Amino acid sequence: MSISVTTWYLEQTSRAALSRGQEPPAGQGVRIARAEVPSPEFSRFLYTAVGGDVTWTDRLPWSYAQWAEYLGRPGTETWVAYERGTPAGFIELAAGPDAAVEIVYFGLIPAFRGRRIGGHLLTYGIERAWDLAERWPDRPSTRRVWVHTCSKDGEHAMANYERRGFRVYDTTVTEEPDVPAPGPWPGAGPLVFPPHSAAQK
C-alpha cells in the first residue's frame, strides 16, 4: 500500500530574510550547544527520539561506520537544544556545493514540543548556517540556506520554516510505501511535565 507524499523545498538567499523566533523564558533553562565530537551513538539517539513519530526511517539501516563517516564530513554540524541539561531536540547542518548549507534535520523530542524551544532552536540553527564558514575556513561564505519538509513531517513544520523567513521554491509529489512511524521504542509517548518541578524553583 502506498501514500501520496508532498515535499516542499524552501530557501533563504539572504541572511536578512531570517525572522527570529521568540526565546524561551530564562528560567526554563534552555541552552543550545554544538556536538563537536562526532558521536554515532548520540546522533542516532537524537534521530530516533525526534523522528520516531514522524516516519524518519532513511537512516535506521545505517551502520556505525556510515554514521561516523557522515558526521565526520567537513561542514557537517549538529546543534543540540537542552532543557535543564536534558536533550530536547537538534538541528543538523551540512555544507554543500555553490556555497549552500542544508538544514538536513530539525525537530524536537515529543515531550519538549509546545515549550517555545522550536522557534528558538530553528533561529539559532539558521544563524549557524549563515556563519558556518567562520568555523570551517576552507568553506566559502554561505550564500544560500535551504531545507525540505514533507507531508509526513509534523503538522507545524511547514509553518515553522515560513515564519523564520523561508520561501518555497519547488514542490514535488511522489508515491511512497505507507510505513508506520517506528517510534523511539514501542509504547513511547509524550511526557507531561509538571507545572512546577523542584528543578524550576
Digitized pLDDT (tens) for each residue of the chain, 201 residues in all = 888 989 999 999 999 999 999 999 989 999 999 999 999 999 999 999 999 888 888 999 999 999 999 999 999 999 999 999 999 999 999 999 999 999 999 999 999 998 999 999 999 999 999 999 999 999 999 999 999 999 888 778 899 999 999 999 999 998 878 777 677 666 565 555 555 444 443
Closest CA to 10 of 162, 174, 141: 162
At residue 120, φ and ψ (nearest 5 deg) are -65, -45
Cell digits for 83? 532543557
Domains of the chain: 2-173 (3.40.630.30)
The CA distance from 149 to 23, in Å, is: 23
Going by their DSSP bridges, the two strands 30-34 and 167-177 should be labelled as unpaired
Closest CA to 67 of 102, 35, 31: 35
pLDDT of amino acid 199: 42
Signed CA dihedral, 31, 54, 73, 19: sign only: negative
CA angle 117, 78, 135 (to 5 degrees): 115
pLDDT of amino acid 194: 55
pLDDT of amino acid 197: 45
pLDDT of amino acid 152: 83
